[in-house]
Structure 1
Amino acid sequence: MTLAGIGAVTAYGWGREALWQGLLSGKSAASVQHGYGPGRDEDAWVSLVPDGGDPVVSTSRYGRAMHESAREAITDALARGWQPGRTVGVLHAIVLGDVVNWRDFYLVDGGHRSSRDYMRLLPSTPVSVLMQEYGFHGPAMNVSAACSSANVALVTAQLWLDAGIADDVVCIATDMSATPDMVEHFVQLGAAVSDTEPLDACRPFQAGSRGFGFGEASVAFVLTRSADRPYVAVLGGAMNNDAYHVVSVDPTHAQIFECTARALDKAGLAAEDVRYFNAHGTGTRQCDMAERDLMKNMFGDQPHVYALKPLTGHCQGAAAGVEVAAAALGYERGIVPATPIVASAHPRLLDGPTPFEGGITAKLSLGMGGNNSVVLLGPVD
């Protein structure tokens, strides 16, 4: 299948061009937010999506971001020659859903709302509104696999297309959960860092990394076999689970290797075919150890490696969506929008935006609960 349309809402702004220009700037999308630090009365660095979108679509920033990213992707795909098939499905990758709206439902409204406003809270509602706007009649569902959710949605979309369940799939990943309480818990877990600018704290494949900065995003794709000018081919993918721990990665990394091997097999590729490794890159110690192990012992430290979370923040369920969008735009524009190196680094880590040499990209995504996923991207034949 091919990826024929891209839409993005990130902390860099509304639209895929805002994301692209933000990545090329080499500057983090984070800003200082008051009330996000310890005790809720201190400042913290967080990558928040600015307000925007169509108020007619939804009263919530979450609903507007989901819908606008999908609209942009669909418009983009149509301009690239996509002709929707008879059955267009929608997959929405989420983790916690509309966190802010649920919080207000309980703490502000005391659990009392009109039926119309209550229905906006349900995860099925944004998908239903999108299906109605475009008259799509294919399967529609939410997908959740922690921070691996966006990759898992892409793998699921390919399964739908291969099985004939849908002719085309609109795949969206939305996570707008960077609230003070969410940031606090991830900091307490030792995974997130909010007391300094992300490029200082989040250094995947570099010395001195402490963890990730929190981010938000909604990213959408149109996946199809019928488009004149798609961005990239999605060659294959796989997903599995460590069955080890709710937070920690299995230290043997066995299932991450197995997942990668299955994805390569699905795509008909060998490890030596991979030219770029688009890392999960949270900057945490256990993630860095797992990905360095995979780079060395499966890929022979041959691919170029890059990670985008120091720039975009860790957008949780939408993280892989942001990173796949960046890779796909890079195929068309001839640039890998890598993060600048700020410390002693892995010898294959790219230093800032770099000319794209072509070839295959492996996109790894790891989620809490042991959720592993790999998607392989390549040039369109």
Structure 2
Amino acid sequence: MSSNGIDIVGLGVVSGYGWGRDVFWEGVSSGKPAARLVGGYGEDHTESAWLALVPEGGDAEDGEGLFGRAFMAAGREAVADARARGWVPGARVGVISVGCFSDQYGWTEFCSGRARRSRDFVRVLPSTPVAMFMHEFGFHGPSMMVSATCASTNNALLMAKLWLDADKVDDVVVVAADLSFTPEVVAGFTRLGAAAVDIEPLDACRPFQDGGKGFGPGEAAVGFVMSSRQLAGFLTVSRAAPYGALLGGAMTCDAHHATGMDPSHAEVIRCVAEAIDDAGVAPEEVGYLNAHGTGTQQCSDAETHVLDEVFGADVPHIYALKPLVGHCLASAGAIELAGTLMGYEHKQVPASRVVSTAHPRLLDGLTPLEGGLTLKTSMGMGGYNSAVVVGPAAGI
């Protein structure tokens, strides 16, 4: 393992499967999609759509909005988990929030005129859940928001690593939350030809397989606690190993089109090559690609090209979680990386099932973990490309 790795010592998850990381793992390891038929969609809001929406839940003390409750629940679970593993917060704990549309439900209500209280306006500001979270735990390090569409989580994790490497903080909590799929947002993605909500998830979303129609929408809030002090020996109490380590990564931009990728894929390829180099590892040490895997032809073509150019004949195993959890926008990379990290603990890879002719390296369902590092790719509208390399913690 690279000596400059940043440990991921705590994890919290709210997903379409429900509230909590154990509920999430039970869901993805079952191979059953989180999506269900939800009414109130379509042009006249009378149709049903297959959506992996976060169900009602959370602590009412965290407010009326589902977004704020999910944000707090994911961050709170991550902190509690880290503490149970022996983490003691340093004096400088930074917080990075990740979002795209973020609290779209709250904004829709507010802009409709139905929300008239001053607190309704404050509730939908992206700064509010971060402020409340830092207040609850007494964290006084730097805070910021990262928004880079579907590449946002990887970018935030790399920003956290920069802070830690530069000794600007002792620890960082990253909370990615996007609960955004109102009928209007779903309609926007279906009109673009990216989302498919009228057929079941495994028929719609088929990354690296024939016959896909696009992604199914999903929602998630995911918290990570990151620290370099475990590796430096500052944690004297170690009840459990970290989930894994972020070894390195990279970010590039196509600078090509508002929604479409550069067909040459040059910047995606450069991003992945630089990520592997930044991690200080060789391509053959990468055992798995946790793919962006939207199921669109554009995405599958790009990631296949990356595999051919960067890995040649030594293509790693491939899996994608969007058929199971949906496309969770800014928190897509977070929920998918959570699957990798929990898989390290369970020694399983939570791949979705293969349902049609597929790439020969695509895993078919829950698979025993064989070892090797994991490359996580994320690509977002606007030309955002990001990739991170993670590996199991020592001893796992």
Interval of TM-score (by shorter of Structure 1 and Structure 2): over 0.9
| 1:331 match: secondary structure | helix
User: For the residues of structure 1 that align with 2:113 and 2:15, how far apart are their CA atoms?
Assistant: 27
The answer to whether the aligner puts 1:306 opposite 2:346 as a matched pair is: no
* 353 and 60 in structure 1: CA distance in 2 versus 1, 3 angstrom threshold: same
Determine if contact 1:82/1:226 at 8 Å carries over to the other structure: no
User: For the residues of structure 2 that align with 1:279 and 1:152, how far apart are their CA atoms?
Assistant: 16
Corresponding residue for residue 271 of structure 1: 283
User: For the residues of structure 2 that align with 1:146 and 1:160, how far apart are their CA atoms?
Assistant: 22
* C-alpha deviation, 1:113, in angstroms: 2.7
Corresponding residue for residue 382 of structure 2: 369
User: For the residues of structure 2 that align with 1:49 and 1:276, how far apart are their CA atoms?
Assistant: 28
| 1:363 match: secondary structure | strand
* C-alpha deviation, 1:303, in angstroms: 0.3
* C-alpha deviation, 1:117, in angstroms: 2.8
* C-alpha deviation, 1:225, in angstroms: 1.8
User: For the residues of structure 2 that align with 1:64 and 1:43, how far apart are their CA atoms?
Assistant: 26
Q: How does 1:1-381 map to 2 (within 5 A)?
A: 1-109=6-114, 113-227=116-230, 228=238, 229-300=241-312, 301-381=314-394
Determine if contact 2:151/2:379 at 8 Å carries over to the other structure: yes
User: For the residues of structure 2 that align with 1:15 and 1:293, how far apart are their CA atoms?
Assistant: 36
Determine if contact 1:69/1:219 at 8 Å carries over to the other structure: yes
The residue type equivalent to 1:157 in the other structure is: A
Determine if contact 2:246/2:390 at 8 Å carries over to the other structure: yes
The residue type equivalent to 1:131 in the other structure is: M
* C-alpha deviation, 1:115, in angstroms: 2.6
* C-alpha deviation, 1:38, in angstroms: 4.1
Percent identity (aligned): 53
Q: Deviations over 1:57-113 (max 9, x none)?
A: 12100000000000000000001111111100000000122111111111142xx63
| 1:35 match: secondary structure | strand
Determine if contact 2:110/2:120 at 8 Å carries over to the other structure: no
Q: Deviations over 1:238-297 (max 9, x none)?
A: 111100011001111110111112111111112222110000000001000001111122
Determine if contact 1:274/1:299 at 8 Å carries over to the other structure: no
User: For the residues of structure 2 that align with 1:312 and 1:289, how far apart are their CA atoms?
Assistant: 22
User: For the residues of structure 1 that align with 2:388 and 2:57, how far apart are their CA atoms?
Assistant: 31
* C-alpha deviation, 1:166, in angstroms: 1.0
User: For the residues of structure 1 that align with 2:223 and 2:69, how far apart are their CA atoms?
Assistant: 13
Determine if contact 1:37/1:194 at 8 Å carries over to the other structure: no
User: For the residues of structure 2 that align with 1:239 and 1:173, how far apart are their CA atoms?
Assistant: 18
Q: Deviations over 1:275-326 (max 9, x none)?
A: 1000000000100000111112212252000000000000001000001100
User: For the residues of structure 2 that align with 1:266 and 1:250, how far apart are their CA atoms?
Assistant: 24
Segments of 5+ residues of structure 1 without an aligned counterpart are none
* C-alpha deviation, 1:39, in angstroms: 3.1
Determine if contact 2:170/2:229 at 8 Å carries over to the other structure: no
Normalising by the residue count of structure 1, what TM-score does the alignment of the two structures yield? 0.98
Segments of 5+ residues of structure 2 without an aligned counterpart are 1-5, 231-237
RMSD: 1.0
User: For the residues of structure 1 that align with 2:229 and 2:9, how far apart are their CA atoms?
Assistant: 9
The residue type equivalent to 1:154 in the other structure is: L
| 1:340 match: secondary structure | coil
| 2:385 match: secondary structure | strand
The residue type equivalent to 1:69 in the other structure is: A
User: For the residues of structure 2 that align with 1:136 and 1:118, how far apart are their CA atoms?
Assistant: 24
Q: Deviations over 1:186-219 (max 9, x none)?
A: 0000000001011011000101011000000000
| 2:44 match: secondary structure | helix
User: For the residues of structure 2 that align with 1:97 and 1:31, how far apart are their CA atoms?
Assistant: 21
